[in-house]
């Protein structure tokens, strides 16, 4: 092969490499974004679960209080 052909190949490869590296950067940025989004979602989910757990405890105490009320009513009926 002649020097000319090698140069043509080199230039073509340089261009291709440049394009591939550019695509690479784009992919890395997308991956970073997605990872951050995923992390955000998992944090949200944890916060949501904590709120639901507080709600569950509140519901527990309401059920307990209704049960006390029920017992008071039962005693009233038997004692009346």
**Contact flag: residue 36 with its own copies (CB under 8 A):** no
Q: Which helix (H) or strand (E) holds 74?
A: helix 3-79
**Contact flag: residue 39 with its own copies (CB under 8 A):** no
- Burial bucket for residue 77 (CB in 10 Å: 0-12, 13-18, 19+): exposed
Q: How far apart, in Å, do the first and last CA atoms of the chain sit? A: 114
As measured in angstroms, the least distance from the Cβ of 75 to its own copies is: 9
Beta-carbon-side half-sphere exposure of residue 6 (alpha carbons within 13 Å): 3
As measured in angstroms, the least distance from the Cβ of 16 to its own copies is: 6
Please tell me the distance from the alpha carbon of residue 34 to that of residue 71, in angstroms, as a whole number. Answer: 55
**Contact flag: residue 40 with its own copies (CB under 8 A):** no
Query: Footprint of its own copies on this chain (CB under 8 A)?
Result: 1-3, 6-7, 9-10, 13-14, 16-17, 20-21, 23-24, 27-28, 30-31, 34-35, 37-38, 41, 44-45, 48-49, 51-53, 55-56, 58-60, 62-63, 65-67, 69-70, 72-74, 76-77, 80
């Amino acid at each position: 092969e002649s020097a000319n052909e090698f140069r043509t190949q080199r230039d073509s490869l340089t261009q291709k490499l440049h394009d591939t590296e550019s695509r690479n950067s784009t992919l890395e940025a997308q991956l970073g974004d997605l990872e951050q989004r995923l992390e955000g979602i998992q944090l949200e989910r944890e916060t949501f679960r904590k709120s639901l757990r507080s709600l569950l405890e509140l519901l527990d105490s309401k059920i307990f209080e209704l049960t006390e009320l029920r017992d008071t009513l039962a005693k009233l009926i038997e004692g009346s």
